[in-house]
Structures are given as structure tokens and as C-alpha cells.
Amino acid sequence: MWAYLKGKQMHGFDFHRQRPVYQFIVDFFCCELYLAIELDGYTHFLDKTSEKDLEKEKRLCELGIRLLRFRDEEIYHDIDNVLRAIETVVIEQKEKAGL
């Protein structure tokens, strides 16, 4: 995923990898758009991470941050649709922020 987001490749916006946001670390974050992207691997579903995810998502939402979540299978097997989904939200967030 990083290969598609780094270097302002997504409509000229700067994404950071493993970025601390509040008390959490998000996989990818764009400060300008208040957009976080999380990738969930298969081990993610083996423990109680879903409870932590709900807390994280709720808090980020309270901070005005939009969170997108994708499973690893989507990244490996359907990257084009994942990138289209991210692009759609980038454009929405850009318009919302008046950028």
C-alpha cells in the first residue's frame, strides 16, 4: 500500500506511515485531509483487537478524522478497487476541507 501512497502520489497529498495520532498509531495518515487508513491482517481477527478498533475508530471520529479500513486480502487481491475507494474519499475530504 505504501508504494501507492508515498511521494504525494494520491492527488498530491502527503501520507505518512505508522503515524501517531492521539494515543494511537495508524498505518497511514494524511494530516491535510484528516484521513487515516488501517490495514488488518488475518491475526487481527484472532484476538480482541476488534474492541480496540472500535475504541480507536470512535476516538478518531471524535477528533474529526475519517478512518478507512481494509483487510490484507483486499490489498493483495483487489488493489485497484482499494485504490479507487481511497481516491474517492481523498476527493471527498479535499472538497470538504476546501483544498
**9-59 residue pLDDT tens:** 999 999 999 999 989 999 999 999 999 999 987 555 555 567 788 889 999
Give the per-residue pLDDT at 79: 97
At 38, which helix (H) or strand (E)? strand 35-40
- The CATH number given to whatever domain includes residue 81 is 3.40.960.10
pLDDT, mean of residues 84-95:
97
Give the per-residue pLDDT at 75: 94
Host domain of residue 54: 2-97
C-alpha distances in angstroms, 85 versus 28, 47, 51, 52, 92?
Answer: 15, 27, 25, 24, 11
How many domains does the chain contain in total?
A: 1
Q: Is the pLDDT of residue 92 over 60?
A: yes
Query: Under a CB-based contact definition with an 8 Å cutoff, are residues 28 and 5 in contact?
Result: yes
At 89, which helix (H) or strand (E)? helix 79-97
Give the per-residue pLDDT at 48: 55
Q: Provide the 3-class DSSP secondary structure of residue 42.
A: helix
- The residue written with cell numbers 471524535 in the block is 62
